[in-house]
Amino acid sequence: MLTALLFLLPALAAAAPARKQAIGANYFQTNGFAGNQLVANYIAADGTLVAGSAVWTGGNGSASINAPGPMVNHPDPLVSSNSVIVVNSQVLTVNGGSNTFSVFDIDAADPAKPALSAVYPTFGEFPNSLGASKDGKTVCVLNAGKVNGFACYAAGASGWEHLPGWDRTFGLNLPTPPINFFGTPSSITFAADGSALHVAVKGRPPTDPSNPTGQLEPGAVFSYAISGTGADATLAAQPTKTPAGIPFALVEDVSSPGAFVAPDPATGYAAFRFGANASAVTGTLAGQMATCWAAQSPLTRSVYLVDAGTNNVTEVAVDPATLMGTVRAHHHLGTNATITDVAIGHRGTYDLMYVLAPGYRAIRAFKISGPGKFKLIQRFEHGDLPKETVLSMGFNGQAVFWK
């Protein structure tokens, strides 16, 4: 026993400064088929990451099938964005192979040591995305398998309480797990003003084997109107559908609520306004291959688009009035990085951006100091992760918590 304690002392001593000096924490999931983990790392004062902990979620991961191959973990296993989110003082993650999502409590004094609070059913198959209302009182989880749609929960005195009146099904013709990523729902997002719940559903290109038309089958954004507020809020039974290409995520403009940007691997991105005066503008990124993830910087108001094919992060400024975009800068992250999920947080005079690189089983940290100015500040490699992390090629999700 004494030997074991002596062995632990150096690790405990190293963790203490990281905990005390941390300004927040960064989270992602391993998506392990035989057991999923939430990995939490401290964010130091300079924005770099320091190993925290890897905690079992109580569920299993899963992965879409890259036909004609077998089901194996890969850098985009859940064909989605927002598989991990922070809601107030909790961090939530889906368990794609267990049809559940897990909720962890965050201790602000030690944010990289989240504690599992509960595991909830998703009432569908292959959960892949989570969305929360701006006030953090409602959470919805998206299902992208054979039983597809979403289920919603309200914050209660003793945990999250299911809202059966908000459950919706899509009736999409999908297996569990889905084959490739075309035709699947990929993101669920609340409008900042609480007026609607939006779901991005991808289209099918002519090259998709399950598309017999030989033409692009457009995707859509399903918008469910929300009426009322608080406990009296109700969700429309049917959505308004806005045509789209292959929308992978939805990012609402922080400076102009109602304007959204969706990364789209068919062209690069598209910008939308929904509702009675719906409009859409397609943006093209030259040479892009798989632009599927995005986050907005509160400092620059730019959207940072992540391309897993070229491994480029591209900064685009979108005019919320015209929905027209302008490329400001881009950064290449290495041939085999296969970069995916991204999270950005504001820190006074600058922003910090974290980009997941499942190909390297790593994270890349950036400092955003102004328009067209984002600089790589850390290569956080798999050897830097918490020692208890079970490595996989299916690392997924990005979320941050700030003290």
To the nearest whole number, what is the mean pLDDT of the chain? Answer: 94
Q: How does 112-128 read in b/e, with b if 16+ C-beta sit within 10 Å?
A: bbbeebeebebbbbbbb
pTM: 0.94
pLDDT of residue 276: 79
pLDDT digit string (tens) for 192-250?
999 999 999 999 888 877 777 888 889 999 999 999 988 899 999 999 999 999 999 99
pLDDT of residue 211: 78
Domain, as residue range, for 274: 2-402
pLDDT of residue 4: 52
pLDDT digit string (tens) for 64-103?
998 777 889 999 999 999 999 999 999 999 999 999 999 9
- Are the CB atoms for 137 and 154 separated by under 8 Å? yes
Give the pLDDT band of residue 16 (cuts 50, 70, 90): low
Name the H helices within 22-140.
none
Provide mean pLDDT across the span 286-312.
Answer: 97
pLDDT digit string (tens) for 265-286?
999 999 999 987 889 999 999 9
State yes or no: pLDDT of 22 exceeds 60: yes
Nearest to 244 by CA among 272, 215, 224, 206: 272
- CA 391 vs. chain centroid, Å, equals 19
List the CATH number of the domain containing 369: 2.130.10.10
Which residue reads 């950036």 in tokens?
A: 366
pLDDT digit string (tens) for 32-68?
999 999 999 999 999 999 999 999 999 999 999 987 7
pLDDT of residue 71: 87
Give the pLDDT band of residue 313 (cuts 50, 70, 90): very high
Residue 200, CB-side half-sphere exposure with 13 Å CA sphere:
37
Between residues 381 and 9, the one the model is more confident about: 381
- As a dihedral over the C-alpha atoms of residue 10, residue 352, residue 337, residue 209, rounded to 10 degrees, the angle is 130
Between residues 188 and 17, the one the model is more confident about: 188
State yes or no: pLDDT of 1 exceeds 60: no
Between residues 255 and 12, the one the model is more confident about: 255
Strands 234-235 and 240-244 come out as unpaired
User: Number of folded domains in the chain?
Assistant: 1
- Are the CB atoms for 305 and 313 separated by under 8 Å? yes
Q: Is the dihedral of CA 151, 154, 160, 161 positive or negative?
A: negative
Give the pLDDT band of residue 14 (cuts 50, 70, 90): low
pLDDT digit string (tens) for 355-393?
999 999 999 999 999 999 999 999 999 999 999 999 999
Q: How does 328-339 read in b/e, with b if 16+ C-beta sit within 10 Å?
A: bebbebeeebbb
d(CA 326, CA 240) in angstroms, rounded, equals 29
d(CA 82, CA 128) in angstroms, rounded, equals 8
State yes or no: pLDDT of 169 exceeds 90: yes
pLDDT of residue 68: 79
Between residues 92 and 12, the one the model is more confident about: 92
Provide mean pLDDT across the span 116-132.
Answer: 98
State yes or no: pLDDT of 305 exceeds 90: yes
DSSP string, 191-257: -TTSSEEEEEE--B-TT-TT-TTSS-B-EEEEEEEEES-GGG-EE-SS-EEEEESS----EE-SSST
Share of the chain above pLDDT 70, in %: 96
